[in-house]
Amino acid sequence: MGPLYTNNSCPLLTQMQNCQGNGRPDKGYENWRWKPSQCDLPRFDAKKFLELMRGKTLAFIGDSVARNQMESMMCLLWQVETPVNRGNRKMQRWYFRSSSVMIARMWSSWLVHQFNEPFGFATDGVTKLKLDQPDERIIEALPNFDVVVLSSGHWFAKQSVYILNDEIVGGQLWWPDKSKPEKINNVEAFGISVETIIKAMAKHPNYTGLTILRTWSPDHYEGGAWNTGGSCTGKVEPLPPGNLVTNGFTEIMHEKQATGFHRAVADDKLGNRSKKLKLMDITEAFGYRHDGHPGPYRSPDPKKITKRGPDGQPPPQDCLHWCMPGPVDTWNEMVLEIIRRDFEGRQSSPSS
């Protein structure tokens, strides 16, 4: 059973994720499929998806990995119908006429309120994050959405200032006053941001949709970070079962994200609304897929370096995003299954 589309049958494919088009020589990574141990995950059925979502809008909100997942969904659906582009500068939107389904994407790096103006002892030019305030653009757009797939995390490695209760409590790659301890580091800030956005969405008076939080997408930079010689060059098969290489940062980010989600769900004020919050946990399963990234095959440039140099230095590469087709397509099979269970569960349950 091969992939449901190819790099040539999907016009909406960011070049960086077009691994075959960029000259990657192996194709096995396109065919491996995750199988849960206690149930069967059906293959993606584009017609079934469009029928289930008839008249509804699905939005992917987050960073570039959210874009990766949205493009995978579009490639899967494109095989049965060519959509109409209804996007603008604020939001990508694609409309499927036969079923009036809209697929949207909003960029939000941290999912919380961000600004650049000076604040306290934080000067102009560094991004400030109000960890206890959701990204207002998301809140404003929510009434237009019926299903939201939310994801974030990787921007917490980038420079920013953390504000809580209108007080500067920490920062990432930023803390000018070394005589004072930081109260919150980037990992804790991530957990707080997740709780903030999930609670705000669940309490929104004009949003009763299904919210799916997709967990931390594992990267596979071995021997260093993305900018210090980390590499996934030459990985052509998934890790064997039981051979997962533990990554301390992935584990703690996943843990803080899940904790933030569960804290939000446990809020007594949510009542029945908490049933519309779903955690889609992909982190451990896709930790095995070190073969699924573009690696050095990030562009079609025929002169690009794809092998280690004589000094053993790896070429520049991407071990964070996912090749398409590739492992990311399974995430959308999971999204479809969560939507199916939610929608069909509601139809079969007696109305209150």
Active site residues: 64, 318, 321
Question: 167 has which bridge partners?
Answer: 164
Place of tokens 């933030």: 260
Give strand ranges (E) for 40-153. 57-62, 84-85, 92-96, 101-107, 112-115, 128-134, 147-150
Q: How many CA atoms lie within 13 A of 145 on its CB side?
A: 28
In angstroms, the Cα distances linking 75 to 12, 72, 110, 312 are 7, 5, 26, 37
Lookup: tokens for 121 = 């002892």
Cα dihedral: 254, 257, 258, 260 (round 10): 160
Whether residue 210 contacts residue 342, with contact meaning beta carbons closer than 8 Å, is answered with yes
Cβ(224)–Cβ(230) below 8 Å: yes
Report which residue type is found at 234. G
